[in-house]
Amino acid sequence: MPAHRPLSLVTGASAGIGAAFARELAARGHDLVLVARRAERLHALAGELRERYGACAHVIPADLADPASPRRLADELQAQRLAVDWLVNNAGYGVPGTFEASQWQVHADSLQVLVTAPTELAWRLLPGMRERGYGRIVNVASLAGHVPGSAGHTLYAASKAFLIKFSQSLALENRDLGVHVCALCPGFTWSEFHDVTGTRELVGKLPRFMWQDAEAVVREGIEAVERGEAVHVTGRVNRAIKALAKLAPDRLALWLSARESKRYRQLD
């Protein structure tokens, strides 16, 4: 650990897993840089973190769908002399419906947020971590990146699979330099995610044992990255699903995916 209070940057910090990361890290003695589009929510969360945990919480509103945002964010950190020890790449969302149902710009924006922005932020902040001999990068991926693709939300699982492989490679490249990298892979999590994608009614039909709350996901994630795990799937149910997906023949796995995805994917 650094001698000073660690500084953690969390993207998508205005709600869900991102806000849970901010609260848990603040409770563990971290200062925060909160990044998301909704400035009002960020300022409210920053006030809570200061009052409850005595954390110094910086607010930087940013839309990571803008390709210039990662560079501007890094420039702002440098201008404020903020050296990031933990990077939590959490921002993300799914595009409901089939691939051709959305305009290309909608898909391009989602790829920018899910793939390009976290990759660029890691590239921009990693050198400082390596130089200081300490750093943690958490890329919030998904169980979806481990199981066969499904119809609907076409690019989501593919993007999360990228984050998993990227995290593995980055972890190997930096494991001897004091920098731990982990792809955190939750399954169904209580958050605003399904409200944003318009699938709340669909996923609400799934059994409760398949769900975790954001706080449990975050606690598992922090412990996993500190242990040096390159990939961590949260929850016993999700780990069982991942194991079964690996063992099943491809045709069977795709058939099961096609059958089950109708329960939680919007296909129009």
Q: Any idea which residues carry the catalytic annotation?
A: 156
For residue 34, the 8-state DSSP code is E
Residue 108's Cα: distance from chain center in Å? 18
| Beta strands in the chain, from DSSP E residues, in sequence order | 7-11, 31-36, 57-61, 86-89, 135-140, 179-185, 188-190, 211-213, 231-233
Q: Which residues contact 14 (CB under 8 A, 6 or more apart)?
A: 34, 36, 37, 38, 41, 42, 45
Q: Which residues contact 116 (CB under 8 A, 6 or more apart)?
A: 67, 70
